[in-house]
Amino acid sequence: MLIELKDVNKTYNNGQPLHVLKGINLGIDSGEFVSIMGASGSGKSTLLNILGILDNYDTGEYHIDGRLIKNLSEKQAAAYRNKMIGFIFQSFNLIGFKTAVENVELPLFYQGVNRRKRHELAMQYLDRLGLAGWAGHYPNEMSGGQKQRVAIARALITNPKIILADEPTGALDSKTSEEVMQLLGELNRQDKVTIIVVTHESGVANCTDKIVHIKDGVIGRIEDNREHHSSMFGTQTIMK
């Protein structure tokens, strides 16, 4: 098991305490392509943030690759985020005053990779995502799909084991959504990257091999979707 959650609980304590995750048990193997679905407010993003060590959980255990992720120092957490995990967000979260290639380079900057090498690598990844011509452009000069591909390049550049995507298609139209999902699928198949996608679009979930349903803070049904038949509209395209 690459990722293992045992009875993970999380309560938000600002003002009224809100018990969001009520004992999550979940295992994900290396190389899986998983989606997490659930109603709005069911705790999907909260779970994903815990998986990405962006946030802490209260009780339970979370292991990555057998190592317990708990009470890490900021430095250790930063190192995990930098080397093991790549993030893709609904709102892309590119840095606006940096060009596409500079955005992609950034994780390597924090690894201490030298300037030329990281530029070279960043160009390679942009090329792979069909954005070589856009390297010098700023995010506000690009379409949503292009921005998301830049974000994917940035997530990939450190060669992470896990990619976590929080509604990566949430801000995209159906055609670009499909492209992005295809891209993630390819990455999963070719590079054997473990990918976890949070979504509430069944079409998006249908692109993944396994669908985890979360309801009221606990894991409900776990669907095997290797046949990609879960969505009645999902076989051909992603409906918006």
Partner 1 sequence: MRFDVDTYREIADSLVRNKSRSLLTGFGVFWGIFMLLFLMGGGQGLRQLISANFQGFATNTCILIPDRTTMPWKGMKQGRRWHMTYTDVERMKMMVPELETVTPMVSNWGQEAVLGPNTISGNIKGVYADYQNIEEPQLRYGRYINESDVLHGRKVCVIGKRIYTSLFPQGGDPCGTMIKVGPVYYQVVGVDFNSGNMNINGSADEAIVIPLPIAQKVYQRGNDIDLLCATARKGFKSSQLEDRMRAIMAREHQFDPSDRNAMFVINTEQIFAIVDNLFTGLNFLIWLVGLGTILAGVIGVSNIMMVTVKERTTEIGIRRAIGATPRDILGQIIMESISLTLVAGSFGIVFAVLLLELLKKIVSMATAGASVQADPEFQISFWTAVAAAVLLSLLGVVAGLAPASRAMSIKPVDAMRDE
**Residues in touch with partner 1 (CB under 8 A):** 49, 52, 54-55, 74-75, 78-79, 81-83, 87, 89, 91, 93-97, 106-107, 109-112, 114-115, 154, 158
Cα gap 32→223, rounded to integer Å: 13
Instruction: Candidates 38-46, 178-186, 199-207, 211-219: pick the segment binding Mg ion (CB under 5 A).
Output: 38-46
Size of the chain, expressed as the number of residues it contains: 240
Q: Burial-class residue 186 by CB neighbours within 10 Å (0-12, 13-18, 19+).
A: exposed
Sequence-distant (≥ 6) Cβ neighbours of residue 10 within 8 angstroms: 19, 20, 21, 43, 46, 50, 55, 57, 58
- Residue 49 interacting with Mg ion (CB under 5 A): no
Looking at 41, 133, 136, 220, which residue binds ligand ATP (CB under 6 A)? 41
Looking at 20, 121, 123, 196, which residue binds ligand ATP (CB under 6 A)? 20
Looking at 35, 42, 45, 225, which residue binds Mg ion (CB under 5 A)? 45
Q: How far is the CB of 68 from ligand ATP (least distance, A)?
A: 23
Pick between residue 43 and residue 160 the one whose CB is nearest to ligand ATP.
43
Sequence-distant (≥ 6) Cβ neighbours of residue 157 within 8 angstroms: 104, 105, 107, 108, 121, 122, 125
The site map against ligand ATP for 195-224 (x = CB under 6 A) is -----x------------------------
Pick between residue 19 and residue 98 the one whose CB is nearest to ligand ATP.
19
Cα gap 72→102, rounded to integer Å: 29
Looking at 42, 103, 158, 188, which residue binds ligand ATP (CB under 6 A)? 42
Pick between residue 45 and residue 194 the one whose CB is nearest to Mg ion.
45
Sign of CA dihedral 29, 34, 37, 42: positive
- Residue 42 interacting with Mg ion (CB under 5 A): no
Q: How far is the CB of 60 from ligand ATP (least distance, A)?
A: 16
Cβ atoms within 10 A of the Cβ of 94, count? 23
Pick between residue 146 and residue 199 the one whose CB is nearest to ligand ATP.
199
Residue pair 194/27 in contact by the 8 Å Cβ criterion:
no
What DSSP element (H or E) covers 220? strand 218-224
Looking at 12, 19, 82, 124, which residue binds ligand ATP (CB under 6 A)? 12
- The footprint of Mg ion (CB under 5 A) covers 45
